[in-house]
Structures are given as C-alpha cells and as structure tokens.
Amino acid sequence: MTPLLIFCIMIFTSAHAHADSKSSIWNEWHAMLPYTPMPDIIKDLIKTDGNGHMLASKFPNPFNVRANVAGYFIWHNVSVDDVRHLFLKKDMKLGAVMKEVTLARTISGNTFLPREEADSIPFSSAKLGQILDRLAVVPGSTTAKHIENTLRDCESPYSKGKTKFCATSLESMIDFVTSELRTRDLKVIATTVHGKDEQQETTYKMAAEGKELPGDKLVLCHPQPYPYTIYYCHVNKAAKAYVVPLVRKDGVKVSTAVVCHFDTSNWKPIFFQVLKVKPGTKPAICHFVPQDHLLWTPNK
C-alpha cells in the first residue's frame, strides 16, 4: 500500500468519524451543557443507532398516561386531588412522614424526536388535522384527545409576568433553559428511586433535611401526553429547589427533587384549604417532583 493511499484512507476515516461524532446526541449534549451530566430519565427518552444518532419515531406510537400531569402547572381548574402533593416547607424536616406522595413516572412509551423531524411536524391547534394524519392517530380517539389537550395547554396564556415554553425536542428544551437561566453551567435534577420502583407506594419518611440548590430562579419541565416527548417548561422566580432523601417503608431509598414556592399571594383558596393554612399568611408551599419531570437550576 502506497503512502499516498494510506494518507487518503486516514483522511477519509477521520472525516467519517468526525461526522459521526458531530451528529452524536451525546456530543451535542456535552457541547450545549459542558458541565452537566445527562440524567438517566433523559437517557431513557432517547433512542439511538450505534453511532449515537437519534432515531426517528415510527407512528402510530402508543404511550401510557399514569397521572394527571396538568396538576403541576395548570391551576385554573384544579380539584382537591390535583393538589394533594403539596406540603408546607416547615414540614420538610428529618423524620417527617409524607403521605399521598406520587413519585412514579407520569408518561411512558414515548421518546424524543430528532430536532429536525420535530421541527417539521406542525404543533398548533389550528393544524390538528395535519398532526393527527402525520402521527397516524385516529380522530376522536383517546390519543387524539391527549394531543388536543396538550396543544391547548401549550397555547393557553400563562400567569402574568411569567414565562413558559413547550419544548418539542431535547435541544429546544436546552435552548430555552439556558436562555432563561443565562448560563450553560446547570444542574438538572430528577427524582431517582434506588431500588424496585413500587408505582403505588405513596407514604415516605424524610431521611434527612433537604439540601438547598443554588439560585433563586429555576425552570421546571413537565412531560406531556403526546406520541413523542414534549416538555411543558415554566420559569419560577420566587422559588427554591431542594434535593430531599426519602425512604419507603420497605427500606428503599429515594432521592427526590422538591420545589418550594415563596410567593403564594395569587394562589387559589383551594391550596390553602388542603394545607389548612390561612390565605394572606404567605406560607412557603412545596411539592415533590415525579421521576420524569425535570428541575433545572444554576450550578453556582
């Protein structure tokens, strides 16, 4: 083999490897968030080929909805059941027993689409017919209703002075979070069960006091019922994030994300009724974050 031929092969191999590396979703994550490890829940939402290229989804794509996701961010029409996951910050202490806590994944069966594919699919109530056709969904079906509800929630006005965004791809979610928090040095926290995941378990004991995370501005992203992964993200300014260790009665340990809201002046009376506190007392109100919801905070 001549030196020229060897050189040509080396150039071709290097260029091919560089192309694969450049398009790898793992390298894209590292380029966008160089200081942030990817949590397992995001890894579970990504399907790739052998080179790390994100795969397109095949439709129709069945998925499961296990809980009322909107109870975490759509509060204009809530019931008592929607707010049972709330508790007072003063109760976040060692040994506290927390009941009716739901930490299970709320959506399962869907995955992220490559950004180019996600951007090519309409995401608007005005184009519902095109969406159903593109995603091979039967009009009037349960899946069609989930799609319609997700589009409605994403298009509904948010609280005055607050910011929200529905991310149709992993990259668009990262773009929104880094823009709002004004840094690429971020933490992304997700609740993690260190053992068998008992979906029905709702009683936990706090194994230690919560560890407060940096910053007084955070972004919380909630998965939506949709044939591919959509996250409804909203910015919380008068809020703090914590990591709280819990233990189940069977001894399984859970590292859970908690958000505490310090400005509750505009909250509806039902929240205070459930927590048995008087409106106007400005209590700090907290909630746990289920396993497939994402809590983003500055790292410093």
pLDDT of residue 20: 42
Dist CA 166 CA 172 (whole Å): 9
Dist CA 9 CA 282 (whole Å): 69
List CB contacts of 67: < 8 A, sequence separation 6 or more: 102, 104, 106, 290
Dist CA 230 CA 149 (whole Å): 13
pLDDT at 55 over 60: yes
Q: Mean pLDDT over all residues of the chain?
A: 85
Dist CA 72 CA 74 (whole Å): 6
Rounded to two decimals, what is the model's pTM?
Answer: 0.87
Are the beta carbons of 207 and 253 closer than 8 angstroms? yes
pLDDT of residue 21: 42
pLDDT of residue 9: 37
What are the φ/ψ torsions at residue 233 (nearest 5 degrees)?
Answer: -110, 140
Tell me the torsion sign for CA atoms 289, 290, 291, 292.
negative
Dist CA 230 CA 240 (whole Å): 24
CA 105 to each of CA 69, 191, 220, 222: distance values in angstroms, whole numbers, following the listed order: 10, 10, 15, 11
pLDDT tens per residue, range 143-183:
999 999 999 999 988 766 679 999 999 999 999 999 999 99
Residue count (the chain):
300
pLDDT tens per residue, range 68-123:
665 555 555 566 666 777 899 999 999 999 988 888 888 999 999 999 999 999 99
pLDDT of residue 68: 65
- CA proximity to 5, closest of 13, 20, 16, 21: 13
Dist CA 256 CA 254 (whole Å): 6
Go through 149-182 and write b for each residue having 16 or more CB atoms within 10 A of its CB, e for each that does not: bbbebbeeeeeeeeebbbbbbbbbbbebbbebbe
Dist CA 284 CA 89 (whole Å): 6
Determine the Cα angle at 35 with ends 34 and 41, to 5°: 95
pLDDT of residue 199: 62
